[in-house]
Amino acid sequence: MKRMHAFSLPEIIIAVIILSTIALLIMPRLSGKTEKSRRAAALMDIENGLASALDDYEADIGRFPTTEQGLHALLEKPSREPVPANWQGPYLKKKRLLDPWGNSYIYKCPGKFNKSAYDLSSYGADGKEGGEGIDRDLNSWE
């Protein structure tokens, strides 16, 4: 009869320790790149995706959605006043109104910083207004 070999408990423990050590060395490097990627994706949404959809909306309606109508006006015809007569939407292909951290983009029209149009921002990783470094806000007016 052939005898089967299996791993002993000490061998399994050593393998787990080695794999855990490798993971601890690699994870900080990957998490920094992940955060940079999220910031880049949020900036692309603010500067291109959502901005382009808002420009298309404004071209059809003659004005941007109000703060109360919000970014949802890009997906569904607003029911809040002023209800747009020439709505040709949806203006977004993807229903992505959340930033890469799962928070809603902040939209105000007229804007505090861009009074003739809108302010669009994301509070970033911490989800709070303000912040520094990697936690600083991403804004359409900067």
Q: Does residue 63 lie in a domain region?
A: yes
What is the average pLDDT across 107-120? 91
pLDDT > 70 in the chain, percent: 89
List the end-to-end C-alpha distance of the chain, in Å, as a whole number: 76
Within a domain: residue 27?
Answer: no
Asked whether residue 19 is domain-assigned, the answer is no
Query: Does a structural domain hold residue 77?
Result: yes
What are the tokens at 60? 């059809």
Percent of the chain with pLDDT over 90: 35
What confidence score (pLDDT) does residue 137 get? 80
Calculate the average pLDDT of the chain: 85
What distance in Å separates the CA atoms of residue 66 and residue 7, rounded to the nearest whole number? 66
Structural domains of the chain, count? 1
Q: What pLDDT, on a 0 to 100 scale, did the predictor assign at position 18?
A: 87
pLDDT at residue number 108:
94
14-23, 26-35, 92-101: the lowest-pLDDT one: 26-35
How confident is the model over 20-71, as pLDDT tens digits?
888 877 776 665 567 788 888 888 888 888 999 999 999 999 999 999 999 9
Residue 100: helix, strand or coil by DSSP?
coil
Residues of the chain by 3-state class (helix, strand, coil), percent to 5: 40, 10, 50
Buried b (16+ CB within 10 A) or exposed e, 73-105: bbeeebeeeeebeebebebbeeeebebbeebeb
Domain annotation covers residue 20: no
CATH number of the domain to which 128 belongs: 3.30.700.10
Q: Residue 70: give the domain boundaries.
A: 40-139
Model-level pTM? 0.71
